[in-house]
Structure 1
C-alpha cells in the first residue's frame, strides 16, 4: 500500500481515483523532491476518492440540477455562503458592497421566503465577481455548498467518504495529505481509527477552523478544543491567506496539542489559484512537512 494518501476536496465528481492520482501524485512528488530531495515512486502515493459519494449511481456531473438562489437552504448552506462572501469581500476590492437590502441579516431574511432568496442572490452575485470563484457558474457554487452540507449531515455520505480513505491505508502508510473538505474527512477518519499507522497529517486549504464546521466535527470539540487524532504524531496545516475556504488559517489554537506540540500552522502564496490542491502540494512548506513524516521512524 501507499506511504502517502491524498484526500481531495469537493467538486471532484467529474474525476476518478486514477485521473486524480496521476495529477495530484505528480505534484506531491515534485513538492517533496524540490523541498527535501526525497524521491517517491508513483506507487508510493495513492488518492482516496470519494467524489462519487455525491452523485447517484449511474449519473455524472452533467446531471447537476440548474440550481440558483432559491435552492440554497437556510441553515448550514446559507451560513457557509455568507462566510465565503464576507471573507471574499475582505480580500477582494472588486466585490461591490451590498446595498441596504443585500446587507439584511440572516435572521431577518429567514422571516420570509422572498427575503431569503433576495439575501442569497446578493451573496451569489457578489461571489460571482470574486477572483477566487472566477469561471465558476452559480449553479456549481450552489452545488459546492450542498456537498459540504451533505457530508456533515448525511450519514451515508460521510460514511462513504471516510471508507474511501480507509481503503487506501496500509501497513506502510505514514502521511495523509488532505485538501479542503477532504481535511474534514481525513481528520474524522483518523479520529475514528487510532490504530492506523499514520504518523503525520498535513492539511491544506482547510475549513476545519470555520466555526460552523468546527462545531460539527466528530468527535465534538470539548471545552472549546477539537480532539487531537490519537496515533498522529505531527499535524501541519498550510494555508494561502487568499484562500477563502481556509477562512481560519491558524488551527493550532483550536485543537488540543499532540505528542510533539500543537498543530504547526504555515502560510504560503499560491498565486491566482489560491485554493488549488496541486499548488499546495508543490509548495516547499508542504513538501517539507510530508518529507518529515516519511523520514522519521514510525511510532
Structure 2
C-alpha cells in the first residue's frame, strides 16, 4: 500500500485575514493539495500513464508555523550564532548566494573592481581554492569583509540572471538558512512531517512516494534519515531544490553531517531494480535550483535521475514541475507499481 507525501516549501501560509479554525486550515491544505495533484495529473496524461490512482495523500502543513517562527526570528535579529561552527545565519545566507551564483557562472574576481588590485587577487585566490576543493573548512575561507562584498555582488548577478528582485531572492534563501540553523524551527517542521508519516503508517501504508518542493526538498531529505522502522521510500522526487548548494548539503541531517559529500538516503528502495530511486527536476531559470544536476553531488548519485524542465507559468512553480511528463511518469509508476501485489 503506497501513500503519497507532499512536502511544501516556504510561503505557503494562509493569507492574513483568513480564519485559523481547523476547518479553515483543512480547506487551505485541500486547496494546496489539489494544486499539486492537478499538475501531477497533467504530467501523468502527457506521460501516457493516465491519471494516477491515489490510495492516500498527505500534505504535512507547517506553513503557518513556519511563517510565525520566521517572523519571530526576524524580530529577534535572526537565530543566535552557532557557536560550534562559528557561523551565524547571515554568513550562511551569504554563502548560499555565492554558491548559487557560482552555479550559474558567476566569477567574483571578474566582478569586484571596487576592491582594488589586492582585493581582486585575494578573491581570485580564494575562488581557485574553492573550485579545486582544497579547503578543510570551506565555510571560513572568506574574511567577513570580502564575503559580504562577494555576496552582494552575487545577489545582483542572480537578480539580473533570473529577472527576480533581489529582495525576493534573499527571502527564499533566508528561510532555508533559518530552517538549517534554528533548532526550534527544524524540530517544529520535522515534527509535522513525521506526524503525517505516522498517520500513513497507522492506515497501513508503509511504502511512500515523497515529493519535496523548494525548501520542502531539504525537509524531505532530513525526514528520510529518521523514518520509523519498516517504512520504505519507493521514490523521492525533488523539484526546485537548493540541495545542490554545498553549504546546504553540509547542514543536512544523517550520515556525513558537516560535509558536502552526502549519501542518497538508505530508506530509498525503488519499487523495481530498473526504476530511479530519486528524481530531481530543475528549471535552469529557477533561482533556487541553479546548482544542478544533483547526481554528481551525492554519494550513490547514480540512483538520481536529473530532469531539466521548462516551466511555462513560473520557473519555480511546483504545479509546472509536476506537469512535466518526465517528472510525473516515474512518480505515477512508483505509486502504482509499488502497490501491485508481488
TM-score w.r.t. structure 2 length? Answer: 0.68
SS in structure 1 of the partner of residue 46 of structure 2: helix
Structure 1 match to 2:337: 296
Q: Give per-residue Cα distances to partners, 1:190-230, cap 9 Å, x unaligned.
A: 11115324321111222222211112211142897423323
CA contact (8 A) 1:236 1:266 kept: yes
SS in structure 2 of the partner of residue 56 of structure 1: helix
Q: Distance in 1 between matches of 2:91 and 2:261?
A: 23
Q: Which runs of 5+ in 1 are unaligned?
A: 91-96
Q: Distance in 2 between matches of 1:275 and 1:202?
A: 15
Structure 1 match to 2:244: 209
Q: Distance in 1 between matches of 2:287 and 2:101?
A: 9
CA contact (8 A) 1:165 1:189 kept: yes
1:100-115 counterparts in 2 under 5 A?
Answer: 100-101=113-114, 105=123, 110-111=144-145
Structure 1 match to 2:95: 79
Work out which of the two has the higher radius of gyration on C-alpha atoms and give 1 or 2: 2
Residue among 298, 304, 319 paired with 1:255? 298
Q: Distance in 2 between matches of 1:108 and 1:188?
A: 28
CA contact (8 A) 2:89 2:177 kept: no
RMSD: 3.6
Please state if 1:33 is matched with 2:45.
Answer: yes
Deviation of the 1:87 alpha carbon: 4.1
The 3 A distance-change label for structure 1 pair 210 and 116 is closer
Deviation of the 1:124 alpha carbon: 3.9
Please state if 1:182 is matched with 2:247.
Answer: no
The 3 A distance-change label for structure 1 pair 214 and 121 is closer
Structure 1 match to 2:23: none
Deviation of the 1:151 alpha carbon: 0.7
The 3 A distance-change label for structure 1 pair 46 and 25 is farther
Structure 1 match to 2:7: 7
CA contact (8 A) 1:188 1:218 kept: yes
Deviation of the 1:89 alpha carbon: 5.8
Structure 2 match to 1:265: 306
Q: Distance in 1 between matches of 2:253 and 2:142?
A: 31
Deviation of the 1:126 alpha carbon: 4.0
SS in structure 2 of the partner of residue 48 of structure 1: coil
Please state if 1:230 is matched with 2:266.
Answer: yes
Q: Give per-residue Cα distances to partners, 1:218-267, cap 9 Å, x unaligned.
A: 11428974233233212222222333322332222333439xx6222222
Deviation of the 1:43 alpha carbon: 7.4
Deviates more, 1:185-194 or 1:116-125: 116-125
CA contact (8 A) 1:8 1:179 kept: yes
Please state if 1:241 is matched with 2:320.
Answer: no
Deviation of the 1:20 alpha carbon: 1.7
SS in structure 1 of the partner of residue 308 of structure 2: strand
Residue among 138, 156, 159 paired with 2:187? 159
CA contact (8 A) 2:214 2:241 kept: yes
